[in-house]
C-alpha cells in the first residue's frame, strides 16, 4: 500500500478574526500585529473547529500504546500511552490541531492580550459539560492550572512532573473576574503562552472531581473531551467511552481502547489481523512488509522527533570526555539499523528537519570522528573508564543502545548497559542516584511545534533536562543560557530567530555537551485500511485526538 501523506499548513498565516488571532510557542503576538506559524510537526486526530460534528457509527477503535500505569493525570507523566488518554479525556483553553499550526479557541471561545503583552483575558464558552455532569466555569480553570503552577497543591500526586511549571513561574496572578472569564497576568512577556496552554499540562479538569478524588484524580480523570474514562488496568489497557455531550458532537466510535503492546512481532501481527486498529509504535523493521499489504495503511509523516543521548555531567564531569562520547557515535548506523531509514541524520542539532529553525550549519555537532574521540579520551586520562548506559526496552531504543555501546567501546571506554521497561524508564531518568544515570538514551517528541519546545525545553539550566536529568545546572556559567533562551523564544519567526537558536545550540553543545543527538525520526503510524479520518501526523508524535476517527 503506498504511503499516505499527512497534510500540513504553511507558516506565516495570520487569522482574520479576533477569536482566531492565535499563536503557538513562538508565534506572533496579539496586540502588535505580528503573526507567524511553524511547519506542521504533529497532527491531532481531529480538530477544535466548531464544524467538527461527528455522526455516531459505533464500534471500537483500539490503539496499541507503549505502556500504561493506569494513572492519567495532566500533571504527572508516566507513559506516552497514559498521556494519550489525557488527550482524549480533557481539553484546554486553546488547541493546536496540527492540521494547522495556530492555536485556536477551544474551551476559551476568545481572548484578548494587553498592549504590554502581560495580561491574557480568556472568555470561556457557555454550557460546556464535563463527564460528571457539571458545567465548565472559571473555577475549573483556576483549579486545573493552579495545580500545575503550585508544587504544594494538595491534588498533586507524589512525583508530579507539572509540565506547565515553567509557565507558572512566570505567572504573577491567575484570577476569575466572573464565572466565564479567566485573567492571567504574566511577570514578563512570553510569546509561547497560548501554545503552552494547548499542551497536556493545560488540560482542564472538573473542579468537583479534583475535590472528590484529590491526588488520585489520575485514576478517575474527568474532563470535557470526546471520550470519558471508563476503566484502566496497569500494564494492560485503558478503556474510554464516547461522550454524548461532547461540545463538538459525539465521536463516531463507541469505545476507544488504548492497549499496552510491547512486543514488536505482536504489534505487526495484530495490525494485520485487525486486533489493533492503529498505532504509532509500529516497529521500523516492519515498514517494508506492511507497505506491501493492502489490509493496512502506512502513513508518511514529518521527521519531527529527536533520538537523543543525555549525559549526566555530575557522573561525567570532564568536558573532553563528554565531547569524546559525542564524537564516537555512528549516527548513520543508528539511522539504518535502529530506524531502518525512517528518519534523518541530525543536521540541525536539536531542531529536527520538519521544524522552523532547522539549520544545517550545525551538522558538525553531530559528526562521528573516532580518531578525535580517542585523542580526547587519552587527554582526559579516561581510557578504560567504566561508563553505564541505560535505554528503554521498546522500539528503536535497544538497537541504538547496542550501537552506542560498541562505539564507546571502540574509543576506549568499558560500557555496561541495562534495558528498562518503558513504564518505569522515565522514573529512572528523574533519579540522579540511579546506578545507570551516566548515559541515557531517550527521545524528545514535539508536543507544541516550535524551537522553544525542543531547544528551550532541553537547554534550559532550570528545566527537567538541564537540571534534573543532565545536571547541566552544576556547570560553570550554565545559568547564562536562560536569558538567551528567553530572548530567542520572543523573536518573530524568521532569520533572526533561527540565528538566535543556532547560536544557543552551538554554545550548548560546545561548552557543555550534555545532549548528544542520535537521529531525527517520525514514529511509524500504521492503521487498518478500514480506519478513517485520523490526523496521523499528530499520532506520529503521540498526540491523540480521536473525535473524528471511525472504524
**Secondary structure in 3-state letters for 185-214:** EECCCCCCHHHHCCCHHHECCCHHHHHHHH
For 173, which DSSP code?
E
CA dist 93 and 109 (Å) reads 8
C-alpha cell at 486: 528567553
Work out the angle at residue 330's Cα, subtended by the Cα atoms of residues 325 and 336, and round it to the nearest 5 degrees. Answer: 145
Per the CB < 8 A criterion, the answer to whether 228 and 86 are in contact is: no
The position carrying cell 488496568 is 233
- Check: CB of residue 534 under 8 Å from CB of residue 550: no
pTM of the model: 0.78
Q: Report the residue count for the chain.
A: 551
pLDDT digits (tens, 9 = 90+) for 54-97: 444 799 999 999 999 999 999 999 889 999 999 999 999 999 88
Alpha helices in 90-150 (DSSP H): 138-149
User: Count of alpha carbons within 13 Å of 6, Cβ hemisphere only?
Assistant: 34
Residue 395: CB atoms within 10 Å? 26
From the CA atom positions of the chain, what is the Rg in Å?
22
- Residue 8 to residue 96: CA distance in whole angstroms: 12
Contacts of 480 (CB under 8 A, 6+ apart): none
Q: Under a CB-based contact definition with an 8 Å cutoff, are residues 227 and 89 in contact?
A: yes
The predicted-structure confidence for 268-323, as pLDDT tens digits, reads as follows 999 999 999 999 999 999 999 999 999 999 998 889 899 999 999 999 999 999 99
Neighbours of 415 (CB within 10 A): 18
pLDDT at 502: 98
- In DSSP terms, 461 is beta-bridged to none
Closest CA to 84 of 69, 98, 94: 69
CB crowding 193-214: b at 16 or more within 10 Å, else e: bbbbbbbbbbbbbbbbbbeebe
Q: Which residues contact 439 (CB under 8 A, 6 or more apart)?
A: 309, 310, 311, 312, 316, 325, 387, 388, 389, 390, 404
How far apart are the C-alpha atoms of 85 and 88, rounded to whole Å?
A: 5
The closest alpha carbon to 42, from 84, 73, 14, belongs to 84
Mean pLDDT, 10 residues at a time, the chain of 551 residues:
32 27 27 28 35 60 96 94 97 88 92 96 98 98 97 94 92 98 96 92 98 98 98 97 97 97 94 97 94 95 93 98 98 97 95 92 98 98 98 94 98 98 90 97 88 93 94 97 94 92 98 98 94 90 92 94
pLDDT at position 33? 27
Are 514 and 311 a contacting pair, CB within 8 Å? yes
- Cα dihedral sign for 34, 38, 39, 41? negative
Q: How far is C-alpha 109 from the chain's CA centre?
A: 25
Print the SS3 string covering 208-260. Answer: HHHHHHHHHHHHCCCCCCCEEEEEEECCCEEEEEECCCCCCCCCCCCEEEEEE
Specify the pLDDT at position 272: 97
Beta-carbon count within 10 A of 74 CB: 31
Any idea what DSSP says for residue 62?
A: E
Instruction: Label the pairing between strands 255-260 and 60-65.
Output: parallel
Provide the pairing of β-strand 296-300 with 4-5. parallel
User: Locate cell 511545534: which residue?
Assistant: 449
- Three cell numbers, residue 352: 529536527
Cell numbers 491567575 label which residue?
174
Amino acid at each position: 500500500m503506498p504511503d499516505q501523506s499527512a497534510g500540513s499548513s504553511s507558516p506565516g498565516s495570520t487569522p482574520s478574526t479576533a477569536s482566531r488571532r492565535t499563536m503557538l510557542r513562538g508565534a506572533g503576538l496579539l496586540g502588535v500585529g505580528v503573526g507567524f506559524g511553524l511547519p506542521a510537526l504533529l497532527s491531532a486526530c481531529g480538530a477544535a473547529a466548531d464544524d467538527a460534528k461527528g455522526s455516531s457509527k459505533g464500534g471500537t477503535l483500539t490503539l496499541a500504546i507503549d505502556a500504561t500505569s493506569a494513572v492519567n493525570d495532566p500533571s504527572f507523566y508516566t507513559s506516552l500511552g497514559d498521556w494519550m488518554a489525557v488527550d482524549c479525556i480533557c481539553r484546554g483553553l486553546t488547541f493546536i490541531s496540527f492540521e494547522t499550526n495556530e492555536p485556536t479557541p477551544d474551551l476559551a471561545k476568545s481572548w484578548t492580550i494587553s498592549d504590554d503583552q502581560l495580561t491574557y483575558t480568556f472568555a470561556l464558552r457557555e454550557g460546556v459539560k464535563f463527564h460528571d455532569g457539571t458545567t465548565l466555569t472559571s473555577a475549573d480553570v483556576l483549579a486545573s492550572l493552579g495545580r500545575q503552577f503550585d508544587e504544594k497543591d494538595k491534588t498533586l500526586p507524589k512525583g508530579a512532573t507539572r509540565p506547565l511549571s515553567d509557565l507558572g513561574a512566570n505567572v504573577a496572578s491567575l484570577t476569575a473576574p466572573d464565572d466565564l472569564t479567566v485573567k492571567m497576568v504574566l511577570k514578563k512577556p512570553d510569546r509561547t503562552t497560548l501554545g503552552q496552554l494547548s499542551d497536556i499540562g493545560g488540560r482542564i479538569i472538573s473542579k468537583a472531581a479534583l475535590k472528590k478524588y484529590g491526588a488520585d484524580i489520575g485514576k478517575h480523570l474527568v474532563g470535557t473531551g470526546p471520550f470519558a474514562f471508563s476503566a484502566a488496568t496497569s500494564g494492560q489497557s485503558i478503556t474510554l467511552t464516547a461522550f454524548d455531550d461532547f461540545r463538538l458532537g459525539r465521536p463516531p466510535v463507541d469505545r476507544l481502547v488504548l492497549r499496552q503492546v510491547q512486543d514488536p512481532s505482536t504489534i505487526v501481527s495484530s495490525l494485520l489481523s485487525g486486533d489493533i486498529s492503529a498505532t504509532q509504535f509500529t516497529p521500523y523493521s516492519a515498514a517494508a512488509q506492511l507497505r506491501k499489504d493492502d489490509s493496512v495503511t502506512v502513513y508518511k509523516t514529518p521527521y519531527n522527533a529527536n533520538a537523543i543521548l543525555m549525559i549526566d555531567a555530575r557522573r561525567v564531569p570532564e568536558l573532553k570526555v563528554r565531547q569524546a562520547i559525542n564524537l564516537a557515535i555512528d549516527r548513520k548506523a543508528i539511522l539504518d539499523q535502529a530506524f531502518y531509514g525512517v528518519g534523518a541524520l541530525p543536521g540541525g542539532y536539536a531542531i529536527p528537519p520538519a521544524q522552523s529553525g532547522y539549520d544545517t550549519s550545525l551538522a558538525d555537532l553531530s559528526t562521528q570522528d573516532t580518531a578525535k574521540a580517542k585523542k580526547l579520551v587519552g587527554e582526559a586520562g579516561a581510557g578504560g573508564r567504566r561508563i553505564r548506559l541505560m535505554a528503554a526496552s521498546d522500539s528503536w531504543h535497544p538497537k541504538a543502545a547496542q550501537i552506542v555501546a560498541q562505539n564507546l567501546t571502540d574509543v576506549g571506554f568499558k560500557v555496561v548497559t541495562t534495558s528498562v521497561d518503558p513504564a518505569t524508564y522515565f522514573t529512572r531518568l528523574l533519579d540522579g542516584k540511579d546506578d545507570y544515570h551516566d548515559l541515557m538514551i531517550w527521545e524528545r517528541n514535539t508536543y507544541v511545534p516550535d524551537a522553544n519546545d525542543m531547544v528551550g525545553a532541553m537547554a534550559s539550566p532550570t528545566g527537567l533536562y538541564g537540571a534534573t536529568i543532565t545536571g547541566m545546572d552544576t556547570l560553570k556559567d550554565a545559568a547564562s543560557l536562560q536569558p538567551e533562551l528567553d530572548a530567542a523564544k520572543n523573536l518573530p519567526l524568521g532569520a533572526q530567530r533561527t540565528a538566535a537558536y543556532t547560536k544557543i545550540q552551538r554554545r550548548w553543545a560546545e561548552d557543555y555537551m550534555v545532549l548528544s543527538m542520535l537521529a531525527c525520526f517520525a514514529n511509524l503510524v500504521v492503521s487498518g485500511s478500514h480506519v478513517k479520518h485520523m490526523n496521523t501526523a499528530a499520532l506520529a508524535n503521540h498526540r491523540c485526538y480521536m473525535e473524528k476517527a471511525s472504524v
